[in-house]
C-alpha cells in the first residue's frame, strides 16, 4: 500500500512539474503529459526506485518548515562569507573536522550532509559511520555546525527526534 502511495505521489509531482514547466493546457498535450508521467512512474517502479527514500512523502509539511529555517541559515552564511571576502581583517582559517550525525537512516544523513554543503562556508566532504567530515571556511562556521542545531533539526524533521 505504501508503495502505491509513493507511486501516486511521484506521478502527481512529475505531472505538476511538467505542467508548470510546459505551460500547455490543451487537452491533447495534457493527455501526452499524463501518459508520459505514468510511463515514468511505471519504469521507476519496475526499477524499484519508488520508496520512502527516493520519494520521501512521509516528511510531510515538516520539510517546508525545515526549508524555511535552512534558507535563513543560507542567507546568514552568505552574509558572513561576503564579509570575510570584503574585509581583510576578518579571519579565514579553513578547518577540517568530524561532526556526529545522529540520524540512523541514509536519507537523514544525506539531508544533513546536503544541508551543511548548501550553507556557504561549509562543505560536507565525507559521510561515514554516523559522522560527517566537514570543511569550514572559519572557526565560527565550524562552531556553528559543532553546536548541533542543524543535526537536531534534521533529526526532528525525520520523525520527531533521532531516527
pLDDT in tens, 57-103: 778 888 899 999 999 999 999 999 999 999 989 989 999 999 999 99
Note the pLDDT of residue 80. Answer: 94
Work out the burial of residue 27: count CB atoms within 10 Å of its CB; fewer than 13 is exposed, 13-18 middle, 19 or more buried.
Answer: exposed
Residues 24 and 75 in one domain: no
pLDDT in tens, 42-60: 999 999 888 777 677 778 8
**Which comes out higher in pLDDT, residue 56 or 148?**
148
Residues 71 and 19 in one domain: no
CA proximity to 63, closest of 17, 108, 117:
108
Whether residue 54 lies inside any domain: the answer is: no
Whether residue 52 lies inside any domain: the answer is: no
Q: How many domains does the chain have?
A: 2
Average confidence (pLDDT) over 15-38: 94
Residues 76 and 151 in one domain: yes
**Which comes out higher in pLDDT, residue 94 or 104?**
94
Residues 142 and 65 in one domain: yes
Residue 117 has pLDDT above 50, yes or no: yes
| Distance (Å, whole) CA 163 – CA 154 | 9
Whether residue 105 lies inside any domain: the answer is: yes
Residues 140 and 103 in one domain: yes
Residues 96 and 38 in one domain: no
Contact (CB, 8 A) for 157 and 58: no
Whether residue 135 lies inside any domain: the answer is: yes
Question: How many CA atoms within 13 Å lie on the side-chain side of 53?
Answer: 10
| Distance (Å, whole) CA 109 – CA 50 | 19
The domain of 69 spans: 60-159
Residues 9 and 73 in one domain: no
pLDDT in tens, 6-18: 889 899 999 999 9
Whether residue 131 lies inside any domain: the answer is: yes
Residues 138 and 104 in one domain: yes
Residues 8 and 75 in one domain: no
- Residue 7 CB neighbour total at 10 angstroms: 17
| Distance (Å, whole) CA 18 – CA 21 | 5
How much is the mean pLDDT over the chain? 90
Q: How confident is the model at residue 158 (pLDDT cuts 50, 70, 90)?
A: low
Note the pLDDT of residue 96. Answer: 96
Residues 142 and 88 in one domain: yes
Longest Cα separation, the chain = 62
Q: How confident is the model at residue 37 (pLDDT cuts 50, 70, 90)?
A: very high
Residues 72 and 106 in one domain: yes
Residue 140 has pLDDT above 60, yes or no: yes
Give Cα 145 to chain centroid, integer Å. Answer: 16
Whether residue 94 lies inside any domain: the answer is: yes
Residues 97 and 129 in one domain: yes
**Which comes out higher in pLDDT, residue 107 or 158?**
107
Amino acid at each position: 500500500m505504501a508503495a502505491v502511495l509513493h507511486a501516486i505521489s511521484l506521478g502527481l509531482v512529475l505531472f505538476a512539474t511538467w505542467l508548470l514547466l510546459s505551460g500547455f493546457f490543451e487537452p491533447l498535450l495534457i493527455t501526452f503529459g499524463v501518459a508520459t508521467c505514468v510511463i515514468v512512474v511505471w519504469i521507476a517502479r519496475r526499477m524499484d526506485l519508488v520508496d520512502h527514500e527516493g520519494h520521501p512523502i512521509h516528511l510531510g509539511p515538516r520539510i517546508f518548515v525545515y526549508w524555511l529555517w535552512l534558507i535563513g541559515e543560507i542567507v546568514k552564511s552568505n552574509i558572513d562569507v561576503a564579509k570575510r571576502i570584503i574585509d581583510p581583517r576578518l579571519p579565514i582559517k579553513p578547518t577540517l573536522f568530524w561532526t556526529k550525525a545522529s540520524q540512523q537512516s541514509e536519507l537523514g544523513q544525506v539531508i544533513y550532509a546536503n544541508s551543511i554543503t548548501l550553507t556557504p562556508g561549509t562543505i560536507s566532504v565525507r559521510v561515514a559511520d554516523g559522522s560527517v567530515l566537514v570543511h569550514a571556511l572559519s572557526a565560527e562556521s565550524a562552531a556553528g555546525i559543532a553546536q548541533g542545531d542543524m543535526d537536531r533539526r534534521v533529526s526532528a524533521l525525520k520523525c520527531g527526534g533521532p531516527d
